Amino acid sequence: MTAERTIRTPRDLVEAGLIGREREEAISRVTASYTVAISPAISRLVDRDDPDDPIARQFVPDMAELAVMPEERADPIGDSTHSPVTGIVHRYPDRVLLKAVHVCPVYCRFCFRREMVGPEGLGTLTPAELDRAIAYISGHQEIWEVILTGGDPLVLSPRRLGEIMERLAKIEHVKVVRFHTRVPVVEPDRVDAPLIAALKGSGKATYVALHANHPRELTVAARAAAARLIDAGIVMVSQSVLLKGVNDDPDILAELMRAFVETRVKPYYLHHPDLAPGTSHFRLSIEEGQALVASLRGRVSGLCQPAYILDIPGGHGKSVVSASSIEAEGGGCYTVTDFRGNRHAYPPKG
């Protein structure tokens, strides 16, 4: 096989040098349950000499995925609990998710929607389902923001995206449209003029949240793709998942956040990994996550600080879970901890 084709099967993984031939049969038990796709850009990034390569860990299937823990669940963040019509998740009053497509250019081994995405997943909305989803948004005046996610909405053709955006353009109360995507990193060439024109087609404020978890993902090509979006007037923010063996290291995390800021992508969300089936090998404890996030405070600029977020299982929404640096002492007095770990009275005594 050539390096320029998306890797989709255990045989492809062997031929691309991503797994040994002796593992092909065993890995096919994983791929029978969870889809594989590794784009050429990502395949090129993998260091095949490093058995612990953080890029491979995110995309190459692993036997550990067959171990499903009792606390794990198919719908870890409770999308279905808040889905009034197919393709819409209405969890918070002023915004909805519009899940137009459940296909991705790559499949992340830790994906929180791994039971829903892929060719066997929930698919793409039919024209009738899309009509009902748009009618729902149109009929709910409180919806200020529409978040296109999935799947990866940027796998849709510019024509299809443009059609969705034109329909959102007609809904007066929608002011902001946000896309969540990995495309600028995993298929940077897809970010071309027709795609950018489609993204801007609603005339609303357009945001793109870029998903990347390791600084090596922000290649020259990925940064150039982000620059094309930003230079066209699209605001970019980041989202990352804190992952054991990928970015659970203060230096790597700092480098990742700096790489985003250098790319003009404002660090936004750092997710605690969700309780998706077969992903326990990626999860660290909340305390470990809090310590890593606290380590960013003195180490990197305020521009580089993301919010550390836990999606509460059951569909109860997001909660910031960063360790607090302030303790109430009563009587309007507090103890505040600085980035070196030193404690100070507030207001100061004497």
Residues 6+ apart with CB under 8 A from 172: none
- Of 167, 182, 266, 272, the residue at the interface with ligand SF4 (CB under 6 A) is 182
Alpha helices in 266-342 (DSSP H): 286-299
Residue numbering of the annotated binding site = 104, 108, 111
Q: Is residue 174 part of the contact set for ligand SF4 (CB under 6 A)?
A: no
The pattern of x and - marking residues 196 through 235 that bind ligand SF4 according to CB under 6 A reads: ---------------x------------------------
| Min dist. Cβ of residue 338 to ligand SF4 (A) | 35
Catalytic status, residue 113: yes
The sign of the torsion formed by the CA atoms of 22, 23, 25, 26 equals: positive
Is 95 labeled as catalytic in the residue annotation?
yes
Are the CB atoms for 72 and 110 separated by under 8 Å?
no
CB of residue 96 vs ligand SF4: minimum separation in angstroms? 17
99: amino acid identity, one letter: K
- Among residues 12, 53, 111, 258, the one annotated as catalytic is 111
Query: 318 catalytic, yes or no?
Result: yes
Q: Which of 57, 91, 167, 258 is catalytic?
A: 91
188 binds ligand SF4 (CB under 6 A): no
Extract the annotated binding site for [4Fe-4S] cluster: 104, 108, 111
**Can residue 91 be called a binding residue for ligand SF4 (CB under 6 A)?**
no
Instruction: Tell me how far apart the alpha carbons of residues 271 and 213 are, in angstroms, rounded to a whole number.
Output: 10
214 burial (CB, 10 Å; 0-12 / 13-18 / 19+) is: buried
Q: How far is CA 333 from CA 283, 323, 327, 340, in A?
A: 37, 19, 9, 21
CA distance 98 to 89: 7
Q: Identify the residue among 90, 91, 113, 271 touching ligand SF4 (CB under 6 A).
A: 113
Pairing of strands 326-330, 333-337: antiparallel
153 vs 162, beta carbon nearer ligand SF4 = 153
x/- map, 120-159, ligand SF4, by CB under 6 A? ------------------------------xxx-------
Asked if 248 and 242 touch (Cβ cutoff 8 Å), the reply is: yes
Whose tokens are 């823990």? That residue is 69
The binder of ligand SF4 chosen from 19, 55, 104, 196 (CB under 6 A)? 104
Catalytic residue ranges? 91-92, 95, 104, 108, 111, 113, 274, 311, 318
Q: What is the binding site for ligand SF4 (CB under 6 A)?
A: 104, 107-108, 111, 113, 117, 150-152, 182, 211
